[in-house]
Structure 1
Amino acid sequence: MRKARLILLAGLGTALAVTGPGMSSADPGTTAVNGAVVHTADAPEPGYWTAERMREATPLDLLEATPADLSGEVPTGDELTVSPTDGHVSAVPEGGGPWTGGGDVVTTAGRVFFTMDGRNASCSGNAVTSTNKSTVITAGHCVKYQGTWHTNWTFVPGYHDGQSPWGQWTATETLTTPQWEASEDMNFDVGAAVVAPLNGKLLTDLVGGQGLKFNGAYNQVMYSFGFPAADPYDGSKFIYCSGTAFKDFLLTQDHGLSCDMTGGSSGGPWFYEFNESTGTGLQGSVNSFGYVFLPGTMFGPHFGTDAQNLYNTAQS
């Protein structure tokens, strides 16, 4: 087994090196609940996410992550670079580009905004069906990264060019898998948020919610959605990719899909059984990362039992 260095790239202006596993933090606001890690979220001040701040929020795609051992041959030698949907991808073979099909996905998906180390950043997310009608699924690095939970966490469904047509939904709790919380294992890069009611309404009562699929098959037709904000995108458009996904040959548990989405799309949903007419499907992954040596491709974690535990904890 050769040692390969994993590097996450997050566009917040400064590269931060992390040297070793064990990123779990002793945050008193964090607890382990039923196979998930739950953090009491720090809410933004009212009116914090102005149109200008949302437009200027930088995609989370230029921070360095943990070294890791990977089985098999490393195509680029001993240094393997990995980035969460970071601009090193460049092709959509089947469909793709701006989503113009309408349907439920236009309101269930949205941009995620948060503050990390004093800098405003963005990801993507998706509202899902849930008991509490208030659950958003995103990537793990979109709720916690480099040992720090993000603050000012807000979900904006149906975002468009600084506008919040369905309102801004503030997280009361953010959650991730134990594996991501402990060592930022890319196979478990899944996050969630429980958002507070807005004007007396619950999230999915207003925007709808997508179903989920756990332990789904590999090599299936999948659709991926997000709000890429790194060049050549600017975060203003809702972008999708589609095609037959494949199983990652290095991290072994992840889905791969040809796609040109860039930073800021992290956390956007991947769907099985997506219906273009209704804009509905079963979410089985999220936009997570890409290999620099493999342009034109992005990857997302397979939703298995750990992702299911995360979802069940969030919705309860």
Structure 2
Amino acid sequence: MRRHRFAATVLTAVGALLAGALSTTSAGAAPPPAPAPSSFAPQQAADGFWTAERMRGATPLDLIHVTPGSVRAPVPAAVGAETIIGPTSFPQAGGPWTGGGAVVKTSGRVFFTFQGRTASCSGNSVTSQNGSTVMTAGHCVKYQGSWHTDWIFVPGYDNGQAPYGRWSATKTFATQQWAASEDINYDVGAAVVAPLNGRTLAETVGAQGLKFNGGYNKAMYAFGFPAADPYDGSKLIHCSGNSSKDFLFSQDHSLGCNMTGGSSGGPWFESFDEATGTGLQVSVNSFGYRFLPNRMFGPYFGPEAKSVYDQAQAT
């Protein structure tokens, strides 16, 4: 999950920030960039590359914005544990998932190489034509103009162990808006993974349904494998509650949650059944604001997200 950190002068004037949302375009602005490819075929991870030790040591991808400029223009960021600026005594909204059900198998950790470093996110197996589609965040497949490599999905990750195998991506995807300019409103990605032992991902761990254009202000459950303090990436964490629409700088969903870096790409469910661990995926963990701790945001699954899903499932 990413947290936007604003400059000190801005932090002292939160009232001004709340007065109006930032615009992603302006009169007289330069025309939008030419469309960028929305998919990339990375080299499959070498068998044995992602050892238990290497997975435990992967750094959560935590992207930080340091100025209040357009949310469409991320600045270079370090991969590392995030430090939240603001009160830390608020009630915590996340905890280990102990309910069992399908979600413990369909959700998992995502590992990849980013600028020569091993990094991690989260993801979820979804219903698809090919039975091999994983939904995640856009920045978990591409960031700073480069598509991640050595990309694998580890469903049911358990403290360095891969009980259902390590699934190598054959192709990764992102919304056109994320691929072209890393627009935070469209931070949605997907991957198609190769069969393992003659079986597809869905045949092995199952798959969750999805819902697009479902509206806002719904009861939701969010899942992920946060790996930045106070978490260590070893367990599936969840948050639940009534969501709302971001009233600040994006058109994203908002949910009370204290998950940290590494949870990015984990699924948000509507109509989630605790008894069966199933629901309809409507978003992914994406980012948070530095001055608004214990609040997480996820992109709206509209036509852009559906287009990514359709590309992936038809591959």
Alpha-carbon distance between aligned partners in 2 of 1:190 and 1:40, rounded to the nearest angstrom: 17
Q: Out of 149, 163, 166, which is 1:165 matched to? A: 163
Q: Retained in 2: the 8 A contact 1:114–1:151?
A: yes
Q: Is the Cα–Cα contact under 8 Å of residues 60 and 123 in structure 1 kept in the other structure?
A: yes
Taking structure 2 as the reference length, the TM-score comes to 0.83
8 Å CA contact 1:25–1:147 kept in 2: the answer is no
Matches within 5 A, 1:217-256: 217-256=215-254
Cα distance, 1:45 vs. partner? Answer: 1.5
Report the 3-state secondary structure (helix = DSSP H, G, I; strand = E; otherwise coil) of the residue aligned with 2:223. Answer: strand
1:41 corresponds to 2:42: yes
The answer (yes or no) to whether the contact 2:35–2:176 under 8 Å persists in 1 is no
- Return the alpha-carbon distance in structure 2 between the equivalents of residues 274 and 190 of structure 1: 21
**Which letter does structure 2 place at the counterpart of 1:187?**
N
- CA shift in 2, pair 1:127/1:236, >3 Å: same
- For residues 46 and 311 of structure 1, do their structure 2 counterparts lie closer, same or farther at Cα, with a shift above 3 Å needed? same
Which residue in 2 is equivalent to 1:52? 53
After the TM superposition, which of the residue ranges 246-255 and 210-219 deviates more from structure 2? 246-255
Superposition misfits of 4+ residues, deviation over 6 angstroms: 20-26
Change in 2 beyond 3 A, CA 1:256/1:63: closer
How far apart are the structure 2 equivalents of 1:278 and 1:161? 24
1:29-69 deviations in Å (ceiling 9; x for gaps): xx4xxxxx111112121100000000000000045589743
Query: TM-score, length-normalised on structure 1?
Result: 0.82
Give the 3 Å change call, closer, same or farther, for CA 147–22 of structure 1 in structure 2. farther
Task: Measure the CA separation in 2 of the matches of 1:160 and 1:203.
Answer: 17
Matches within 5 A, 1:257-296: 257-296=255-294
Do 2:188 and 2:305's aligned partners in 1 also have CA atoms closer than 8 Å? yes
What percentage of aligned pairs have identical amino acids?
63
Is 2:133 the counterpart of 1:115? Answer: no
One-letter amino acid of the counterpart of residue 229, structure 1: A
Q: Deviations over 1:277-296 (max 9, x none)?
A: 00000000000000001111
* Preserved CA contact (<8 Å) 1:85 1:261: no
Equivalent of 1:305, from 303, 306, 313?
Answer: 303
Residue type of the partner of 1:116?
F
Cα RMSD of the aligned pairs, angstroms, is: 2.7
Question: Structure 1 CA distance, aligned partners of 2:266 and 2:247?
Answer: 22
Question: Amino acid of the residue matched to residue 119 of structure 1?
Answer: R
1:212 to 203, 210, 213: 210
Q: Which amino acid aligns with 1:39?
A: F
Change (3 A) 1:218 1:25: closer
Runs of at least 5 residues in structure 1 that lack an aligned partner in the other structure: 1-5, 9-19, 32-36, 71-80
Instruction: Indicate if the aligned counterparts of 1:114 and 1:121 stay in contact, CA closer than 8 A.
Output: yes
Cross-structure match for 2:132:
134
Deviation at 1:239, TM superposition (A): 0.2
Q: Give the residue type in structure 1 aligned to 2:292.
A: L
Rounded to whole Å, the distance in 2 between the matches of 1:219 and 1:243 is 10
Deviations 1:205-252 (A, max 9, x none): 110000001011211000000000000100001100000001001234
